[in-house]
């Protein structure tokens, strides 16, 4: 559910999640599941060490960085050890599939269904729940932009900046709030790893479909500063599978442009500053109506999204981490539908959504058994204009949330995760 609609969701309440995950991790199971064996350097001494929030657990057992997942709990885990089941699609898989938009791979994931709303907008449903219960994130930060009750995702191109897609099927409300009752789809982006490098991608296909990306990267000689840039365009004349009808039954004519940058700087051995910025511009033209000439319509839409996330990570000691985020995002929609025979405009959506969001999180290892995490955020949301669902001219919403999580190592093969979240907003109150 979009957060500014929470006043319509009567059962928003405090969530308490208790997840007991039995992880059968005997030595022979480890040897059977993990490949390659050379990538693992675990020992009895390592297994006796407490979890460290300063570094992912993989830094001790030798797992590759791309084996780490961050969605589902507030702390990073090796995918095989995550207490929440996560499906992961890597950037390499996107490339091998020849996908130009992430929806082309998400629609093939079990339990995820691509649906079209009455206005022709594409939405995702997870495990049959309404699309408004699916939360989209980029690097753990919410994507705004709601059209007909669902997050706009047609501008999410399968660019080379994508490290992976992490999918949580089922309720994740303890971590992300009631927006995530259906599930979460988190897009993780790459950081620079090479001193100098670049990726170039070009595709040409049916219906005059052209996709091109360029992604340069750099890393300073001392490794302290790096940046990964990505820019590209995807456009097509579209396809209509039933040309004997006025309506576009297929993909409309579209042109999507995107540019992004992911920068990081090691201030010291214990502190890092990161900046992620992202901009997309999507234009589409489609037709609708029945065979009667008086009902034939043409819809032209433009959607722009701009997002900036500033992040500071600090390790005050060997067993704790403090993270501070500043997040700003805007989404602008301009969609107009005209009757072709008369030129009369019969449907309009023109609005701007804006989000300001400071957020903090503190994680600390307590003894051998407890990994505690506390955090909070305060959202300031503004909506100006009108859309197809809500005709109001301007709305304001403020929302504050706090959360707590304790990962308890009960036995060597069992972790117990306790979590609670409290949310209050200016429309629905506290729960």
Q: Which two tokens stand for residue 32?
A: 């059977």
pLDDT of residue 417: 87
Query: Within a 13 Å sphere around the CA of 230, how many CA atoms are in the beta-carbon half?
Result: 28
pLDDT of residue 37: 29
Number of domains in the chain: 1
- Give every CB contact of residue 120 below 8 A, 6+ residues apart in sequence: 248, 252, 286, 288, 299
Determine the Cα–Cα distance for residues 330 and 326; give it in Å rounded to an integer.
Answer: 14
Domain holding 169, by residue range, is 3-430
- C-alpha radius of gyration, the chain, whole number: 23
Determine the Cα–Cα distance for residues 355 and 380; give it in Å rounded to an integer.
Answer: 6
Kindly tell me the burial class for residue 112, based on how many C-beta atoms sit within 10 Å of its own C-beta (0-12, 13-18, 19 or more): buried
- Extract the residue ranges of the chain whose pLDDT is less than 50: 1-52, 54-65
Supply the pTM of this predicted model: 0.81
CATH code of the domain in which 212 resides: 2.40.170
pLDDT of residue 20: 35
- Give every CB contact of residue 12 below 8 A, 6+ residues apart in sequence: 6, 178, 423, 428, 431
pLDDT of residue 343: 82
Determine the Cα–Cα distance for residues 318 and 269; give it in Å rounded to an integer.
Answer: 12
pLDDT of residue 12: 36
Determine the Cα–Cα distance for residues 97 and 76; give it in Å rounded to an integer.
Answer: 27
- Segment 345-388, tens digit of pLDDT: 888 888 999 999 999 999 999 998 999 999 999 999 998 887 65
What are the φ and ψ backbone dihedral angles of 385, each rounded to 5 degrees?
Answer: 105, -155
pLDDT of residue 62: 40
pLDDT of residue 85: 76
Q: What Å distances lie between residue 202 and 100, 105, 159, 179, 260, CA to CA? A: 10, 18, 11, 36, 18
Q: What Å distances lie between residue 268 and 142, 273, 274, 361, CA to CA? A: 29, 10, 13, 20
């Amino acid at each position: 559910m979009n957060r500014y609609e929470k006043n319509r969701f009567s059962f928003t309440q405090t969530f308490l999640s208790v997840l007991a995950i039995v992880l059968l991790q005997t030595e022979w199971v480890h040897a059977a599941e993990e490949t390659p064996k050379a990538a693992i350097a675990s020992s009895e001494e390592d297994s006796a060490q407490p979890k460290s929030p300063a570094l992912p657990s993989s830094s001790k057992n030798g797992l590759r960085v791309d084996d780490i997942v961050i969605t589902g709990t507030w702390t990073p885990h090796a995918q095989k050890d995550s207490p929440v089941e996560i499906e992961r699609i890597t950037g390499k898989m996107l490339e091998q599939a020849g996908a130009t938009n992430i929806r082309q791979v998400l629609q093939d994931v079990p339990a995820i269904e691509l649906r079209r709303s009455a206005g022709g907008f594409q939405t995702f449903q997870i495990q049959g729940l309404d699309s408004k219960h699916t939360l989209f994130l980029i690097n753990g930060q919410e994507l705004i932009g709601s059209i007909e009750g669902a997050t706009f995702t047609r501008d999410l191109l399968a660019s080379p900046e994508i490290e992976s897609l992490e999918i949580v099927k089922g309720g994740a409300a303890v971590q992300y709030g009631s927006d995530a009752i259906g599930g979460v789809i988190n897009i993780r982006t790459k950081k620079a790893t090479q001193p100098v490098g670049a990726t170039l991608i070009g595709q040409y296909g049916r219906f005059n479909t052209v996709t091109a990306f360029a992604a340069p990267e750099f890393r300073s000689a001392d490794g302290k500063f790096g940046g990964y840039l990505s820019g590209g365009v995807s456009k097509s004349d579209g396809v209509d599978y039933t040309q004997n009808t006025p309506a576009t039954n297929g993909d409309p004519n579209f042109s999507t442009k995107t540019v992004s940058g992911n920068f990081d700087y090691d201030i010291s051995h214990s502190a890092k500053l990161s900046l992620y910025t992202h901009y997309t511009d999507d234009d589409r033209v489609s037709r609708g109506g029945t065979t009667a000439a008086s009902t034939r319509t043409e819809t032209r839409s433009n959607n722009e999204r701009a997002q900036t996330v500033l992040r500071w990570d600090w390790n005050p000691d060997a067993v704790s981490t403090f993270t501070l985020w500043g997040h700003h995002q805007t989404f602008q929609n301009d969609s107009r539908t005209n009757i072709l025979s008369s030129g009369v405009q019969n449907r309009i959506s023109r609005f701007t959504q804006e989000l300001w969001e400071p957020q903090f999180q503190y994680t600390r290892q307590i003894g051998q058994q407890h990994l505690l995490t506390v955090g909070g955020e305060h959202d300031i949301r503004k909506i100006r204009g009108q859309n197809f669902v809500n005709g109001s001219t301007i709305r304001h919403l403020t929302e504050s949330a706090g959360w707590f999580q304790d990962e308890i190592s009960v036995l060597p093969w069992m972790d117990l995760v306790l979590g609670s979240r409290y949310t209050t907003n200016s429309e629905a109150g506290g729960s």
